[in-house]
Homo-oligomer: A and B are copies of this chain.
Amino acid sequence: MTERPRIRNIADLAKIAGVSPGTVSRALSGAGLISQKTRERIQALAREHEFRPNIMARNLRIQRTGAIGVLIPLGHETGQHISDPFFITMLGLLADALTERGYDLVLSRVIPTDDDWLERYADSGRVDGIIVIGQSDQSAVLDRAAARYRPLVVWGGHSRGQVHCSVGSDNIAGGDIAASHLIERGCKRIAFFGDPTPLEIAQRLEGCRAALARAGLADSLTVFPAHLAAGANDSGITAYLEQAETRPDGIVAASDVIAMSALRALSELGMAVPGEVKVIGYDGLALGEHTVPRLSTVKQDLTTGARNLVDLLLRRIAGEDTSSVVMMPELVVRLST
Contact = CB atoms under 8 A, between A and B. Distances in A.
Interface of A: 50, 52, 54-57, 59-60, 63, 65-67, 70, 81-85, 87-89, 91-93, 95-96, 99, 104-109, 123-126, 230-231, 234, 257, 260-261, 263-264, 267, 286-287, 289-294
A57 B54 contact: no
Given A55-B124, A81-B92, A92-B81, A107 B106 contact: yes
Contact of A260 (B54, B88, B124, B290): B290
A264 B286 contact: no
Nearest to A105: B107
A65 B264 CA distance: 46
Contact of A231 (B67, B125, B257, B289): B289
Given A60-B60, A290-B261, A290-B264, A125 B89 contact: no
14 contacts: A52-B125, A54-B125, A56-B125, A83-B85, A85-B85, A95-B107, A95-B109, A105-B107, A106-B106, A230-B289, A230-B290, A231-B290, A261-B290, A267-B292
Contact of A82 (B88, B109, B257): B88
Given A82-B91, A88-B91, 20 more contacts: A55-B65, A56-B65, A60-B60, A81-B93, A83-B88, A84-B88, A85-B85, A87-B88, A88-B88, A91-B107, A99-B108, A104-B106, A104-B108, A230-B287, A230-B289, A231-B289, A234-B289, A264-B290, A264-B291, A291-B292
Nearest to A64: B56
Contacts of A125: 52, 54-56
B82 A92 contact: yes
B60 A56 contact: yes
Given A85-B88, A88-B88, A126 B104 contact: yes
Nearest to A232: B286
A13 to B, nearest CB: 15
A261 to B, nearest CB: 5
Contacts of A88: 82-85, 87-88, 91
Contacts of A106: 67, 104-107
B96 A109 contact: yes
A84 B85 CA distance: 8
Contacts of A67: 106
Contacts of A231: 286, 289-290
A85 to B, nearest CB: 5
Contact of A59 (B50, B56, B92, B292): B56
A273 to B, nearest CB: 10
Contacts of A93: 81
A160 B294 CA distance: 43
